[in-house]
């Protein structure tokens, strides 16, 4: 008799494996309602196989997925397989099968009664995603030699926007062909291309420098949603072909998301698309305040319901779930649950940079630092136009003890997105604290609204290290009011995922000094 049953639907998240149940959504393996202990790498291996049941997964693919950018032998894979089989009571290998000289697979049988019912992916899911076309810029430079450069910039921006996988970007040749028809206005071009948004603009020379004026137009209303001018200058990576297109792409994507958000707020919840649900969740999640994380989680869940193939919605769902458990302070079983969500996001949308970037956080919280850095750098490789991807690299470098190196990445992220969310400042300030740049660290952390007790005591520690005794007292008092009776030294030792002790000790020393100042008052 077959011992395993799985849902034969790639969208299913609950899988019966013998007498155990793997819940990919929750990130748990249970038997009779009790969590089955399984080490991190073995659990990752099980999740990798479970997301493609019935397929023989080659050993190399498993090694690359579970141990990315780390050189290990097949002995590590064999040990993880043994651990999984032991956890599943599958010592004879009937559930997790070995296929000689090829790899491993999880067996498929009939649909389990306990499994999540199959949910068909909507055929119109892609059509729900906003469509955008970038027209050629009107050339007012008077220099024919610049026209190829100007058109090349539009092509770079088009390619950059296409990296955001929940947008549909009209191909450059189609957009340029429609723009060449002089009988069409913007509305007519939009109708021909079936575009929701059109970007147009002009290029001119001002004091020898190329200036681009760009505008984002909503086709349906004729409204100009965003407009800005960019002066092309810079050296190194801040070049004409690099920084300017990335800045423009970041502004455009943010403006499109904000437009979707505004439109969604005027419509019944039942009619919202997955993109609009995702936009609402992201807008909430990038703010601070009571109840916002719970509301964001609900929107991400609704985005998954609307489009089960939208991997980034799973990734953000995991991140919002983590926020409700104080991120790195979450219990281990919760960390595994959110890791499974992040892993599912990457598997559904392997070319979506934000999925890899969010997964890098989850690796960090599990103290898988090399994997965290690999995932963060993979995100940048996929989409160097996404400020969050640059920020993720900065954050990983900071927790790995490479604060000086992280500063450049924080600045890159802020250059691309000058309207950065306040959590950029929160992590940036930590890197500055590690480097002894206390005044700048305090300035950035002071800009974070709705600071938690942990952030207040960190700010107090920074002021104490500066010698600002009164400010240290004030922020210790705020922290104690938010968390009466909290042992802040113990909290600092346990709640930050630093790879090395020196960064943790730096913070602990500052907190001790701030508490001593307060106690001596």
Residue 267 has pLDDT above 70, yes or no: no
Q: Rounded CA gap, 311 and 282, in Å?
A: 14
CA angle 250, 254, 259 (to 5 degrees): 150
Pair of tokens at residue 334: 């919760």
- Same domain as 221, residue 130: yes
Write down which residue in 253, 280, 308 finishes a domain: 253
The domain of 93 spans: 4-106
Give yes or no: residues 215 and 141 share one domain: yes
| CA-to-CA dists, residue 309 to 161, 164, 408, 446, 467, angstroms | 20, 15, 35, 40, 53
Is there a single domain that holds both residue 93 and residue 34?
yes
How far is the C-alpha of 334 from the C-alpha of 328, rounded, in Å? 10
How far apart CA 473 and CA 478 sit, in angstroms, is 9
**Pick from 223, 253, 283: which residue ends a domain?**
253
Which CATH number is 52's domain given?
1.10.10.10
Quick check: is 417 in a domain?
no
Q: What CATH number should be reported for the domain holding residue 306?
A: 1.25.40.10
- Which tops the pLDDT comparison, 111 or 242? 242
Instruction: Report yes or no on whether pTM surpasses 0.75.
Output: no
User: Are 414 and 427 a contacting pair, CB within 8 Å?
Assistant: no
Quote the CA–CA distance of 338 and 336 in Å, as a whole number. Answer: 6
Across-strand partners of 57?
104
Residues 283 and 241 in one domain: no
- C-alpha to C-alpha distance for 353 and 382, rounded to whole angstroms: 5
Residue 26 has pLDDT above 70, yes or no: no
pLDDT confidence tier of residue 264, bands split at 50, 70 and 90: low
204 class by beta-carbon count within 10 Å (0-12 exposed, 13-18 middle, 19+ buried): middle
| Residue at which a domain ends, from 320, 350, 383 | 383
Q: What is the DSSP letter of 99?
A: E
Tokens at residue 135, please?
């027209």
In a domain, 334, yes or no: yes
Q: Are residues 291 and 366 in the same domain?
A: yes
Task: Indicate if 186 and 248 belong to the same structural domain.
Answer: yes
pLDDT at 110 over 50: no
The alpha carbon of 435 is separated from its chain's Cα centroid by a whole number of angstroms, namely 26
Strands of 57-58's sheet, edge to edge? 57-58, 103-106, 96-99
Is the model's pLDDT at 123 over the cut of 70?
no
Examine the domain organization and report whether 295 and 318 are in the same domain.
Answer: yes
- Domain count along the chain: 3
Label residue 418 by pLDDT band (50, 70, 90): confident
Nearest to 210 by CA among 162, 173, 244: 244
Least Cα distance to 255 among 211, 215, 303, 302 occurs for 215
**pLDDT on residue 90:** 85
Query: Looking at the structure, do residues 130 and 241 belong to the same domain, yes or no?
Result: yes
Decide if pLDDT at 457 tops 90: yes
- State whether the Cα torsion 116-120-124-125 is positive or negative: positive
Helix axis angle, 243-264 to 403-416, nearest 10°: 60
On whether both 31 and 97 belong to a single domain, the answer is: yes
Give the alpha-carbon dihedral of 500, 505, 506, 507, to 10 degrees: 110
In the chain, DSSP finds a helix count (H) and a strand count (E) of: 21, 14
- Least reliable range by pLDDT among 3-17, 133-147, 169-183, 418-432: 3-17
Same domain, 245 and 306: no
9 Cβ partners below 8 Å, 6+ apart? 116, 118, 119
The DSSP letter of residue 227 is: E
- The CA distance from 356 to 5, in Å, is 30
Q: Does any domain span residue 412?
A: no
DSSP code, position 353: H
> Would residue 520 count as lying in a domain?
no
Query: 136 and 166, same structural domain?
Result: yes
Same domain, 189 and 296: no
Nearest alpha-carbon partner for 171 in 195, 139, 149, 150: 195
Q: Is residue 220 part of a domain?
A: yes
pLDDT at residue 391, rounded to an integer: 93
pLDDT at 115 over 50: no
* DSSP assignment letter at 484: T
Q: Please, what is the end-to-end C-alpha distance for the chain in angstroms?
A: 74
Give, in degrees to the nearest 5, the angle at Cα 468 between 465 and 471: 110
pLDDT of residue 47: 85
CATH number, domain containing residue 149: 3.40.50.10610
Query: pLDDT-based confidence at 118, cuts 50/70/90?
Result: very low
Average pLDDT score over residue span 359-369: 90
- Average of per-residue pLDDT values in the chain: 82
In the predicted structure, residue 122 carries a pLDDT above the cut 80: no
Contact status, residue 393 vs residue 377, Cβ threshold 8 Å: yes
The label of the residue with tokens 């922020």 reads 475
**Range in 258-267, 296-305, 482-491 with the lowest mean pLDDT:** 258-267
Question: What was the pLDDT predicted at 4?
Answer: 32
Is 205 within the bounds of a domain?
yes
Q: How confident is the model at residue 405 (pLDDT cuts 50, 70, 90)?
A: very high
Asked if residue 304 belongs to a domain, the reply is yes
Exposed e or buried b for every residue in 434-456, given b needs 16+ CB within 10 A? beebbeebbebbbebeebebbbb
Model confidence over 207-260: pLDDT tens digits? 888 888 889 998 888 888 888 888 876 433 344 555 677 778 888 888 887 777
β-strands 131-134, 197-206 pairing:
parallel
- 360 within a domain of the structure (yes/no): yes
Give the least confident one: 17-31, 45-59, 442-456, 496-510: 17-31
Cα angle 464-445-249, degrees, rounded to a multiple of 5: 155
Distance CA 454, CA 456 (A): 5
Question: Looking at residue 503, what is its pLDDT?
Answer: 93
pLDDT band at 125 (very low <50, low <70, confident <90, very high): very low
């Amino acid at each position: 008799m077959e011992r395993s049953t799985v849902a034969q639907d790639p969208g299913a998240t609950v899988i019966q494996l013998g007498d155990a149940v793997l819940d990919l959504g929750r990130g748990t393996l249970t038997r009779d309602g009790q969590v089955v202990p399984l080490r991190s790498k073995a659990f990752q291996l099980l999740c990798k196989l479970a997301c493609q049941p019935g397929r023989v997964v080659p050993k190399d693919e498993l090694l690359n997925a579970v141990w990315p950018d780390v050189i290990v032998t097949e002995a590590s894979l064999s040990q993880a397989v043994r651990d999984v089989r032991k956890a599943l009571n599958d010592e004879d290998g009937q559930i997790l099968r070995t296929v000689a000289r090829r790899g491993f697979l999880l067996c498929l049988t009939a649909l389990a009664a306990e499994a999540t019912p199959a949910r068909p992916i909507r055929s119109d899911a892609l059509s729900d995603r906003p469509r955008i076309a970038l027209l050629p810029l009107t050339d007012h430079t008077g220099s024919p030699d610049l026209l190829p450069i100007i058109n090349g910039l539009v092509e770079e921006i088009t390619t950059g926007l296409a990296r955001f996988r929940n947008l549909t970007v009209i191909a450059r040749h189609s957009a340029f062909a429609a723009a060449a028809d002089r009988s069409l206005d913007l509305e007519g071009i939009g109708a021909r291309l079936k575009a929701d948004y059109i970007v147009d603009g002009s290029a001119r020379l001002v004091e020898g420098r190329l200036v681009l004026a760009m505008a984002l137009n909503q086709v349906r209303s004729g409204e100009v949603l965003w407009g800005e001018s960019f002066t092309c200058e810079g050296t190194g990576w801040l070049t004409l072909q690099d920084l300017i297109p990335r800045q423009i792409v970041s502004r455009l994507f943010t403006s499109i998301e904000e437009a979707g958000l505004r439109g969604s707020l005027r419509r019944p919840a039942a009619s919202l698309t997955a993109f609009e649900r995702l936009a609402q969740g992201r807008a909430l999640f990038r703010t601070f305040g009571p109840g916002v994380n719970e509301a964001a989680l609900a929107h991400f869940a609704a985005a998954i319901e609307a489009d089960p193939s939208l991997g980034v919605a799973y990734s953000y769902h995991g991140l919002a779930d983590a926020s409700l458990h104080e991120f790195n302070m979450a219990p281990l079983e919760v960390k595994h649950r959110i890791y499974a969500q992040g892993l599912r996001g990457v598997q559904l949308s392997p070319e979506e940079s934000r999925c890899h970037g969010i997964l890098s956080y989850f690796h960090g919280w599990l103290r898988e630092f090399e994997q965290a850095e690999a995932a963060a750098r993979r995100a940048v490789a996929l989409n160097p136009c996404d400020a969050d991807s640059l920020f993720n690299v900065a954050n990983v470098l900071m927790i790995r003890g490479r604060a000086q190196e992280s500063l450049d990445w924080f600045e890159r992220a802020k250059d691309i997105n000058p309207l950065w969310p306040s959590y950029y400042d929160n992590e940036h300030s930590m890197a500055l604290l590690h480097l002894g740049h206390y005044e700048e660290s305090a300035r950035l952390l002071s800009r974070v609204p709705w600071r938690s007790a942990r952030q207040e005591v960190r700010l107090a520690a920074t002021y104490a290290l500066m010698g600002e005794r009164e400010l240290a007292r004030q922020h210790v008092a705020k922290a104690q009011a938010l968390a009466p009776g909290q042992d802040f030294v113990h909290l600092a030792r346990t709640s930050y995922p630093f790879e090395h002790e020196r960064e943790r000790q730096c913070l602990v020393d500052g907190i001790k000094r701030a508490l001593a100042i307060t106690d001596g008052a």
